[in-house]
Amino acid sequence: MSPPRQRVTRPAQRPARPRARAARDARHDMPFVSPTLGRAIGKRIRAARLASRVAPRHLGPFLSTTRLATLERGEEIPTLQELVYIATMCGVAVFDVLPEEAIARTLRPLDGPPPLPKAPSIDPTVRVFAVSADTIDDEYHPADGEGELEVEVHEEIKVISEAIEASAGIDVIRTAAEVGRSARVLMGNVRELRAALVALADPRSLWLWHPRNQSAMAGALGEVTRKLHNYVAAAGTLRDHAARFVDRHYPEGSPGRHEWDEQTAAHFGAPERVLVNQLRNYSVHRALPILRAVHGDEARGGGATFIVLDAAELLQSDKWAPPVRTWLEQREVIDLAEVVAGHWVDVQKFYEWFDGWIRATQADALEELGALRRQHEAIIDETRPGLREMFDYMNARKRRENPRRPASVRRVLAARARGTSASRRERR
């Protein structure tokens, strides 16, 4: 009689499936790509290959069998070059290896703008109505018992404040700030335009090339046209504001003006840079430029989808500068992304120099302003606590900026209210 078998208890093991699923999902950790889309593309690739009776080894050496198996399982998203190569080897159109959901969604504009939040810094007792760029109609409704806030201003503070307002340094800072605001507007516009161009160059936007999606392609090109118009308009605004700053502070023939002219010509004198400047006048006074979407081989070798300007259409205008016209006559199409990227790089380099140039050429005026401000703060610190806050509050009220009341002002108003209440009780 054989001995009874002993039951062997094996230690519990964690199932490998969740780990494999997590690793597979991690491969899809990229923006706008989901595992479902990867599997859908993989199924279409496998179906097209089997229908054309193309063996995996026939796709080598450009595409290895391991890479093909990875793509067909949907573990990774194929590149544009891989999609075009597989479609060519299978004898089908590239659209046949893309599912319906592989459509560029990033170019679709929003149905409506989101609601604007109310600025928390706006005093609800003040209503401001903008009349024009230089005038504001202010209707002020004081709270009960507030009246007009009267604070005695030290005579020395008043004199220094007037000196600060009349100084050359404060004028330099304020006019330079306008140039900085225009530069930030251009920065936002170039981000939107380049994002649209990158989205169209993405493999998922290939579905827009399908004949039945002509309206979607037209909408995408229209969106790029809108963003291009915003960019060239903002570039023109920045150029005009910077020129206004130079005209104000650097007269003709001065050393600073000569250096400005040299740097402007060095950064924006090339025909493709002048094209961006004059494209603003073309869009405003003639017509919006017509954009075309072309495959890489039509624009330049080895690329994906490009948005181009038609040189023949632009040459119908006789307003181009001679160097720009010569440059356009040498081309059939102009790669928009290349022109915008080059222009934006020069804009950044130029205004980095611009900032240092102002600090160097206006050093005396800025140093004088700094000394006046330090003297102003020293006198305020010698007076009663809270006077600086009250002074800044009154100046902001004078400029109609609708500031919040600081703590020192609230204490003065509270003391005044208590005194008023006490006097009323005495009269009773």
403 inside domain = no
Specify whether 89 is located in the same domain as 169.
no
Q: Are residues 222 and 302 in the same domain?
A: yes
* 199 and 301 co-located in one domain: yes
- Looking at the fold, whether 207 and 322 belong to one and the same domain comes out as yes
Question: What one-character-per-residue DSSP string does 146-178 give?
Answer: T-----PPPHHHHHHHHHHHHSHHHHHHHHHHH
Q: What is the pLDDT of residues 340-350, one digit of tens each?
A: 989 999 999 99
Separation of alpha carbons 385 and 408, rounded Å: 8
Q: pLDDT band at residue 128, thresholds of 50, 70 and 90?
A: very low
Q: Residue 19: its pLDDT value, please?
A: 45
Name the domain boundary from 97, 124, 152: 97
Q: What CATH number does the domain containing 43 carry?
A: 1.10.260.40
Q: Whole-angstrom Cα distance, residue 123 to residue 404?
A: 7
294 vs 308: CA distance, rounded Å: 7
- Do 171 and 47 lie in one domain? The reply is no
Rounded distance between C-alpha atoms, residue 133 and residue 156, angstroms: 33
Largest CA distance in the chain: 120
pLDDT digits 0-9 by tens, 325-370: 999 999 888 888 889 989 999 999 999 999 999 999 999 999 998 8
Q: Which of 6-10, 181-185, 342-346, 419-423 has the lowest mean pLDDT?
A: 6-10
Under a CB-based contact definition with an 8 Å cutoff, are residues 340 and 190 in contact?
A: yes
| Alpha helix stretches (DSSP H) within 362-406 | 363-382, 387-398
**Rounded CA separation 232/172 (Å):** 26
Is 131 part of a structural domain of the chain?
no
> Mean pLDDT throughout 266-292?
89
Structure token digits, residue 300? 């330049």
Average pLDDT over residues 378-393: 69
pLDDT at residue 320 greater than cutoff 80: yes
- pLDDT band at residue 115, thresholds of 50, 70 and 90? low
pLDDT surpasses 60 at 310? yes
- Cβ-Cβ contacts under 8 Å for 238 (sequence gap 6 or more): 179, 182, 183, 185, 186, 347
For residue 377, what are its two tokens?
A: 């703060």
Predicted pLDDT at 16: 45
182 and 89 share one domain = no
Residue 224's CB: how many other CB atoms inside 10 A?
Answer: 21
Q: Which residue has the higher pLDDT, 8 or 88?
A: 88
Structural domain contains residue 155: no
Rounded Cα distance between 8 and 126, Å, is 84
Domain final residue pick, 64, 97, 130: 97
Encode pLDDT of 149-163 as tens digits.
444 556 777 788 888
**Do both 180 and 84 map to the same domain?**
no
Q: How many helices (H) and strands (E) would you count in the chain? A: 16, 5
Question: If you write DSSP's letter for every residue of 322-338 in order, what string do you get?
Answer: HHHHHHHHT-SEEEHHH
Q: Please give the single-letter amino acid code of residue 403.
A: P
Single residue among 66, 97, 128 that ends a domain in this structure: 97
Q: In 47-143, which ranges are E strands?
A: 126-130, 136-140
Residue 54 sits in the same domain as residue 190? no
Q: Is residue 226 part of a domain?
A: yes
The CA distances from residue 113 to 36, 45, 109, 219, in Å, are 30, 39, 10, 18
Residue 174 domain-assigned (yes or no) = yes
The answer on 330 and 249 residing in a single domain is yes
3-state secondary structure of 57: helix
Q: Can you read off the two tokens belonging to residue 159? A: 């004199």
Distance CA 83, CA 250 (A): 57
Could you report the per-residue pLDDT of 61-101, keeping only the tens digit for each? 888 888 889 888 888 878 767 877 888 888 877 667 776 55
Alpha-carbon distance 406 to 391, whole Å? 10
* 418 burial type by CB count under 10 A (0-12 exposed, 13-18 middle, 19+ buried): exposed
- The answer to whether position 252 is within a domain reads yes
CA nearest to 202, candidates 341, 313, 105, 121: 105
* Residue 298 pLDDT > 50: no
Mean pLDDT of the chain: 75
Q: Write the pLDDT tens digit of every residue in 216-264.
A: 888 888 889 999 999 999 999 999 999 999 999 999 989 999 999 999 9
360/245 same-domain check = yes
Instruction: Give me the phi and psi of 71, to 5 degrees please.
Output: -70, -40
Domain that holds residue 66: 30-97
Residues 50 and 191 in one domain: no
Identify whether residues 53 and 169 lie together within a single domain: no
- Higher-confidence residue: 273 or 21? 273
Look at residue 86 and tell me if it is in a domain.
yes
Into how many domains does the chain fold? Answer: 2
Q: What are the tokens at 287?
A: 């017509």
In the prediction, which pLDDT does 152 show? 53
